Amino acid sequence: MAAQQYPDSPSLEQELNGLTREELTDLVRHCAPQALVTFYDEARTIAVQGTIDYKGSPFENDGVSHFEYTEHRYLGDQLRLQGWDTAQPNNPAASVNPLKLKNGVSLSYGTINGLAGDFFSIVKPISAGADAKDRSDRFKAAFDTLWSGDPKKIQAILGQLQKEVDGINNILQDSSIPDNGKAIRELYEKMDADLLNPLDVASKTGSNPGASYKELLTTNLDHFAPNSRIIYDTGHAWALEVAVGQDLPRAYAINAFADHFLEDNFASGHLRVPRGDMMDNLAKNICVNMMHNEDNTRGVQVKSQGSSTTPSTSWRAYGDSMLFDDVSKPGKTQCYSALKASVDEVYEAYKTRTAKPATDFKAWDHAPTMTPALETPQSHDKENHPPMFRVVDGKVWQRKGLLPYKGEVSKNTKWEYEPVVGKGPKIPLTDISLVPQKYQSYLEYLYWSILAFRLTPYSTMGTAIKKEVEGWLNTLPGPLSLLAGFWKTATVS
């Protein structure tokens, strides 16, 4: 007799396809856009038709997984590119001395920086390469999408992004605006919604356009620490190699691409989130969004490692879209120091015909590290609130007392953790190891769904999760019917 086949837990796609119009729209507005961006078109259409009251963008309070384009461009164009003053002799400012790409397009260092990764790259995460050579090959392929890409695609994307640049410049130049930072954040919230579809269309312009804007948003692991460091080191090493070979402008262009990921390492909402361990279902994406928002808005106290020639510095890092806020000034200063060290090493390699090893890259003397290093569940950082989630022994653990979530957590909160799967209030089963192996994936899916259901502040999200889980439970055979009681007990108000 053949063994009985049990239905798998729903995939992310299956979960999303089962949502109502209202649930879908709220989901796209409030949950991890990198995983759900493909559903934005439908939700926006629903809103425009007037089915619900559409308010804000799907990126509201979350943003893209890193600094915005204008923030990247601003940071890159503040630099001075030694030995490269072809446009303005004796003035090597990056903003006025563009770099000519292989395709004939001339772009400033900051513009290349802003386009890298978000608009020009490959779908496969660079950091997921099998080894250093594979990662290097992936980085080179990603860079080539811009270096050799169709100029029509570049111009189409820049044409859309200019709306963002103009809007921010208008705010910065308007002395009547009392809080530029707040005004810029509000502008980003509006423009993220307005530009998403036009940018995706622009990214498909020209011949062989490669990965689209939305495709790159769904594969964003490279923009989160520690992956962002891996990408920077890979690209910077190649830039130094090219500089040693005496092609300084190409080396600067490569380094501008790599610097994008160095800058990503300064955003607080991407320093502690275990993104790679929390992305394979709807519930985990909701939990990622909650942690990301908490770290972004509360900020995270960080410290640079320093060196024998660079003193260590402490500051409070904040998240996406906040570069122009007053609270971000210390972080902006540190980021500039890291970028300056990066471009100066390119010129040094060009002059000396010698490249530094990755262990000596000076940018990391200025970049943020957590204080102290978080190695065990018992580590207690008195300067920061404990993160919502941490990976312990290969499994994601949640902050003890996370439920019921009230949005109130301080640096004095105890750093105590418990497994997401197998622990928690109102959950009758306390040890997943007691469950037969073939059922453990079912129970894990259910635990995460329970957590997300109780964690999200959005009622439509809770309803969407509840409907999906209960629909799945109805498909299970008799031996698994106990899971329905488990769900009911854990989610009763």
User: Where are the domains positioned within the chain?
Assistant: 69-306+315-370
List the one residue out of 118, 93, 96 whose CA is nearest residue 106.
96
Closest alpha carbon to 113 in 149, 68, 80: 68
CA distance 431 to 393: 16
pLDDT by residue (tens digit) across 322-349?
A: 888 899 999 999 999 999 999 999 999 9
Pairing of strands 314-317, 106-107: unpaired
- The tens digit of pLDDT for each residue in 197-224 reads 899 999 999 998 999 998 887 677 898 8
Nearest of 438, 437, 439, 395 to residue 420 by alpha carbon: 395
Spatial distance between the Cα atoms of 114 and 203, rounded to a whole number of angstroms: 14
- Min mean pLDDT across 93-97, 232-236, 311-315, 382-386 is at 382-386
Q: What is the pTM of this model?
A: 0.79
Between 189 and 252, where is the model more confident?
A: 252
Helix ranges (H only) for 265-362 are 282-298, 329-352
**CB contact at 8 A, 239 and 346:** yes
User: What is the pLDDT averaged over residues 370-384?
Assistant: 58
Supply the Cα-derived Rg of the chain in whole angstroms: 24
More confident residue, 456 or 155: 155
Which has the minimum average pLDDT: 72-86, 90-104, 448-462, 473-487? 473-487
- Which amino acid does the sequence have at 450? I
Distance CA 198, CA 158 (A): 11
d(CA 63, CA 57): 9
Within a 10 A sphere around the Cβ of 312, how many other Cβ atoms? Answer: 13
Angle at 383 between CA 381 and CA 388, to 5 degrees: 60
Position 187, amino acid? L
Q: How far apart are CA 21 and CA 205, in angstroms?
A: 30
| Nearest residue to 29 (alpha-carbon basis) of 176, 217, 189, 224 | 189
% of the chain surpassing 90 pLDDT: 43
Mean of all residue pLDDT scores within the chain = 82
Task: Give yes or no for a contact between 240 and 345, defined as CB atoms under 8 angstroms apart.
Answer: yes
